[in-house]
Amino acid sequence: MLNFFKIILLIIILPIVVFLINYQINLNGYYNKSSRFLENIYLNQKKGNNIELRFSNYNRRKIVSSRIYSLKNSTIDSLVIGSSLTMKLGLPLKQKLLNFSVSSPSIQDYEIIQTLLEENNVKVNNLIINFYEVLCFENFKSDRHNLFSQLSLKNGLIEGFKVKTMLQSLTPNKIIIEKSHKTSYQTTLNHDGSIKDNFLNSSTNLKVNISKRLISLNNNINSYRIDFNRFNRLVKNTTANKVTIVIIPCPLKVYNKNKEFFNKIEREIIRTKIKSNIKIIGSFNPLKFKIDINDFDDAHHLNLNGLNKIFN
């Protein structure tokens, strides 16, 4: 009987310990308190250091908002607002710019970044906006934009009880200033906000990823109505002197199976260009840039060779 109560007590206590560790360390700034981890990243970026990270699921949105606050009443020459598709723009391509791309953004993420720039009187000369298909789905269900602030009570509790987060929080040397280009770390976060991924997917994984993307894209096309109104307002309301929309090509198999959809939204982007006098770089069609399967890291992301074909 005594052993039974010990087991019950252990089952109750362990989740509480996990939550307290996650709350106290606050690795990704999910709670209404400072995060030493994110502050260290931000301070090192400010010093011009590139940082090696053992894991990639850090809260970029908090880092972006911190950088905007630090740039109050200043002017950025070139700025990227985009998704993980454009996170390599900047130092990896020898481009001089700031990169505020965040993972899997909805249109709300772009609107929040634009609002933060306006509220802090940060002016932009050349604004580069990454358009990808999710941005045209009306009322697309995503709550990642909430990561710019602390999580709701429900999501905070869910995150707090994750053992994986606790293990990441307790891992020593999470932030290492990059000293060479030879690294075993998963991601290098450059001081301009761009990244360098230090791993490649195998051809087998690439095929699996393409199949998953096709299923996901098909579900979204069947679930959401196409609506460009919010994106058009975003472009129209920007105070930047120049605006460039960047479209990253997808693998040929993904494009061919959804050619009608991709061509339709690309025509809408061209209409946006005509109305707002903007520039467009890229296309969903990889053949326009002689991009093949070897130019992809996975079913979504181009490697540096693929990106160079677009921007050179």
Average pLDDT over the chain, rounded to an integer: 84
pLDDT at 150: 64
Q: CA-CA distance, 245 to 147, in Å (whole number)?
A: 25
How deeply is 147 buried, as exposed, middle or buried, from its count of CB atoms within 10 A (0-12, 13-18, 19+)? buried
Q: Is the pLDDT of residue 120 over 90?
A: yes
Between helices 229-237 and 107-119, what is the axis angle to 10°?
A: 20
**pLDDT tens-digit profile of 173-187?**
454 444 444 444 467
**pLDDT tens-digit profile of 227-265?**
899 999 999 889 899 999 999 999 999 999 999 999 999
Q: CA-CA distance, 259 to 253, in Å (whole number)?
A: 10
Instruction: Please enumerate in sequence order all residues whose Cβ is within 8 A of that of 99, keeping only pairs 6 or more positions apart, or say none.
Output: 79, 80, 82, 86, 87, 89, 90, 190, 192, 193, 194
**pLDDT tens-digit profile of 65-114?**
989 998 999 999 999 999 999 999 999 999 999 999 999 899 999 999 99
Helix ranges (H only) for 28-103 are: 36-46, 60-70
Cα first-last separation, the chain: 72
Please state, for a pLDDT cut of 70, what percent of the chain lies above it. 86
Q: Is the pTM of this model over 0.85?
A: no
> Amino acid identity, residue 99?
N
